[in-house]
Amino acid sequence: MDQKQDLKTGTTTVGIITENAVVLAADMRASMGHLAYDEEAQKIYEITERIAVTNAGSVGDSLTVIRFLKSHANLYEVERETMITPKALAAYLSNVLNANRYYPFIAQFILGGVNNEPELFEITPFGGILERKSYAVSGSGTELALSVLDQQYKTGLTENEGIALCVKAVSAAKKRDIYSGGVSISVMVIDQNGVRQIDDAKVKKFIENKAN
């Protein structure tokens, strides 16, 4: 298979910092070359009780790295008897990716979580860390999602406002980016109470602009 086609993947994932939480959202299409291979793909993963990540890129590479993150976080918390922070886990992820830069994992991640306050990071395939104070975007639909976030993000968003904006940004990418799509949009919220998956019925209301 042509290497360029083999590595051609697409998605749209976003993360937003709200007043008291981080909201992560992603489309649900997994592509293989120019084929929409799966329309219900998982792209947001809970790592600890207060940290989750989105993935964009090779599915196999992403899942391998996510297993590394879960194992490291569990070991960290057993050895130190304290919860790992989002910043510490982002640093570990950066080290893993940078150590493999000559045979890289074809994957990009958005890591969000809560320590004393919401924290959000973008981690590039070669281990660069970008701490975001407002929002983060990854994947082939980045430009489309960014246009929505640039215009409509504001500090102090409520949880519902953050979910609505995430859904709107991903929806914009799904409309025009052929590699973003799926049956719906996945949404997770991370706050002091932990990681919560927003159910499909509620997400559908946000997509239809009917949520309270």
Residues labelled as active-site residues: 11
Q: What order of strands is seen across the sheet that includes strand 107-114? A: 44-48, 51-57, 107-114, 118-123, 129-132
What's the CA gap between 171 and 26, in Å, rounded? 9
- For the chain, helix, strand, coil in percent to 5 are 35, 30, 35
What's the CA gap between 183 and 194, in Å, rounded? 26
Task: Name the amino acid, one letter, at 54.
Answer: T
Q: Half-sphere exposure (CA, 13 Å, Cβ side) for 130?
A: 15
